[in-house]
Amino acid sequence: MPRGRYSLHDPYDDTPLGEEHFQCAPGPSGWRYTSRLTSPSGTPAGSVDLTVDHLGRPVRLELHAGGWQVKGTTMDGVTWVRTDEAGAQAREGNAPATAFTGASPAFLVATARLLSLTQGETRRVRLVAFSHPVLAPRTLDQSWTLAGTERHETDSGPLEVRTYRIADLETGEQTEAHLAGDVVLAAPGIELEELESPPSPLDDPSIHDTRA
């Protein structure tokens, strides 16, 4: 069960945004990621709880940040409820999208697991993003390409690092994310600072034959 700490910063000017203390693990029916966020001063700044099924589809999402919370799942595309912490301003949303995304490294791992790309393959995916600090929803289209795979020998065994090229199809902006199993090593605004145990494999080989 990987457990560790990411540092978060603005991807454009490197302003520190805080830290994300996480743990994640595969299970018999999918993969789960939980984390707590802290501000640059160390005060609590929210949390992430994401569970995906064996095909990478979001079964349960719960986000807390900036006095707001979101709960979401896969239903007629994706469905969510966004509300203030007191529950007085609840609003339900739905979009013909495949999954969720946001600032947390959890979403990069979940999307990579969902797409299950082969070397050089490119696929398009529609996602609903929740932006900080108020978790406002926005539907966007991305293009993901598995651009490279490198194998590194470590004290705990071989480590496969995958490089994904991600393009925002509305703006044309391109970024890269480097993943080792279900841990993000580096991505725009994200740096892995501590890891207490080796990553788990990104995906289950048995799911590849069942994907459309």
**What's the CA gap between 110 and 63, in Å, rounded?**
15
Query: What is the mean pLDDT of the segment spanning 99-108?
Result: 97
CA atoms within 13 A on the CB side of 120: 0
Instruction: Specify the amino acid at residue 108.
Output: L
| Count of other CB atoms within 10 angstroms of residue 87 | 9
Beta bridge partners of residue 3, listed in sequence order: 23
- pLDDT for 27-51, tens place per residue? 878 999 999 999 999 999 999 999 9
Residue 156: pLDDT above 60? yes
Burial code (b: 16+ CB inside 10 Å, e: under 16) for 170-209 equals eeeeeeebbbbbbbbbbbebbebeebeeebbebbeeeeee
Task: Please tell me the predicted confidence (pLDDT) of residue 168.
Answer: 97
Percentage of residues in the chain having pLDDT higher than 70: 94
What is this structure's pTM?
Answer: 0.93
Query: What is the mean pLDDT of the segment spanning 110-121?
Result: 97
